[in-house]
Structure 1
Amino acid sequence: MARDRRVHRHRTQQRQERRDQPRDQARRPQRVRLPQRRQPAAADTLRHHPPSPPGRVLDLQIRQAGRRGLSDRFSGVPGDFFHEVPSADLYLLKTVLHDWDDERCTTILRNCRSAAREGGRALVVEMLVDREIGKPDFATIADVTMLCVTGGIERDLDEFDALFAATYWRRGRTYPVGGGYHAMELEAI
């Protein structure tokens, strides 16, 4: 047991040393997380699973990352994704697109695509509606809720593909990530 603690302490020390080493800012991959209407999960995720290198969170109102002890893991960037997003290698849009109609989703995705660096990628995490009639599906219930509450819509894979194609993204792998959500990996075309 003492050996396990020494190994854990050694690995923790190695990670800290890697974090403390200066890095070339121009060559570091940049990640941007676009906001969702509810942000508390972002801080918890970053607290337990720090990105390397640190990411950036785009939001209309930036709160102090330092107050939550997260300043080494992400920085806040004030902005509105309907106007422009910062340049990055990877964009994470988790439960963002379902809040908006097709026109606004197109604007968000187009802004990400135009700001994406060469070889840019995006990860979209959303529920996928199953259009099979008579098959009970939580995403279908959420679709009605989104329409009533935000004017948004839950979409099926074909509807997402149409949005992606119209904004010059190509969908690669799609896989479940739990809780009825699916991750869709996109690459810029």
Structure 2
Amino acid sequence: MRRCCRWFRRHRDAGPPARRQPGVVEGFRDRHVRRRGLARLARHPGLEGIVLDLPHAGPGARAAAAARGLDDRFTAEPGDFFSEIPRGDLLLLKYILHDWKDENCLRILANCRDALHPGGRVVITEIVMDDRPTGIGPLMDLGMLTAAGSRERSLAQFDTLLSGAGLRRVAATPVQPPYVVIEAVPV
């Protein structure tokens, strides 16, 4: 995951815009995401963060932010990304879409598009399957199929989802195979 962190370091100066609008981080109950997200907030005093997750995840997220002295720039909002997402400049979906079938992904991505401030972007970190998948990718694909009826996707399949939600891919950065950071903007 070091390459993923390098990607964020390379792109940190590109945003957020001067409005100090928050970003939304999905899936905060994952300790890795929580630690990395809060570390990013600590390093960049101009950032604010909102995490959208189920109500039971909020107290732990708020406590972790308070322990780092970030509670003035961090909010944990209970909610459901199938209905509404808080507005932001950068919406991060990390290991979210592989949990869902295409029709649910379209709803999540369309809600992200609707929640973006002008000039905002959606950043997706997921396993991306290539033409000849090797390593953990095929195992994760099989696991997602049997556990949730969902799947890992190819870059072309992500492009189809993005297009169906009114977004277009502007970058895809491999970070640690098979993980890729995909950036998308509204069409």
After TM superposition, the score normalised by the length of structure 2 is 0.78
Cα–Cα, structure 1 residues 65 and 140, in superposed 2: closer, same or farther, change >3 Å? closer
> In the alignment, which residue of structure 2 is the partner of 1:77?
77
Does residue 54 (structure 1) correspond to residue 48 (structure 2)? The answer is yes
> In the alignment, which residue of structure 2 is the partner of 1:163?
161
Structure with more contact order per residue of length (Cα contacts < 8 Å, sep ≥ 6)? 2
Amino acid at match of 1:42: V
Q: Which string of whole-angstrom CA distances, capped at 9 and with x for unpartnered residues, describes residues 110-157 of structure 1?
A: 11111211122010000111233xx53421221011111122210001
**Aligned with 2:180: secondary structure?**
strand
In the alignment, the residues of structure 1 paired with residue 145 and residue 152 of structure 2 have an alpha-carbon distance, to the nearest angstrom, of: 8
> In the alignment, which residue of structure 2 is the partner of 1:67?
63
Amino acid at match of 2:35: D
In the alignment, the residues of structure 1 paired with residue 83 and residue 37 of structure 2 have an alpha-carbon distance, to the nearest angstrom, of: 26
Cα–Cα, structure 1 residues 39 and 136, in superposed 2: closer, same or farther, change >3 Å? closer
Alignment of 1:94-173 (within 5 A): 94-132=94-132, 136-173=134-171
Q: Which has the larger radius of gyration?
A: 1
What's the % identity of the aligned pairs? 38
Show structure 1 runs of 4+ deviating over 4 A.
none
Q: Which string of whole-angstrom CA distances, capped at 9 and with x for unpartnered residues, describes residues 59-96 of structure 1?
A: 11212444221424521011100111111111000000
Q: Assess if the C-alpha contact under 8 Å between 2:89 and 2:119 holds in 1.
A: yes
Amino acid at match of 2:22: Q
Unaligned residue ranges in structure 2 (runs of 5+): 1-17
In the alignment, the residues of structure 2 paired with residue 73 and residue 178 of structure 1 have an alpha-carbon distance, to the nearest angstrom, of: 30
> In the alignment, which residue of structure 1 is the partner of 2:10?
none
Structure having the larger proportion of residues in helix: 2
Unaligned residue ranges in structure 1 (runs of 5+): 1-25
> In the alignment, which residue of structure 2 is the partner of 1:31?
23
**TM superposition shift of 1:101:** 0.4
The more displaced of 173-182 and 46-55 is: 46-55
Q: Assess if the C-alpha contact under 8 Å between 1:65 and 1:71 holds in 2.
A: no
Once superposed, what is the RMSD of the aligned Cα atoms?
2.0
In the alignment, the residues of structure 2 paired with residue 110 and residue 46 of structure 1 have an alpha-carbon distance, to the nearest angstrom, of: 23
The more displaced of 92-101 and 169-178 is: 169-178
Q: Assess if the C-alpha contact under 8 Å between 2:95 and 2:125 holds in 1.
A: yes
**Aligned with 2:59: secondary structure?**
coil
Equivalenced residues, count: 161
Cα–Cα, structure 1 residues 142 and 66, in superposed 2: closer, same or farther, change >3 Å? closer
Alignment of 1:169-184 (within 5 A): 169-178=167-176, 180-184=178-182
The more displaced of 174-183 and 156-165 is: 174-183
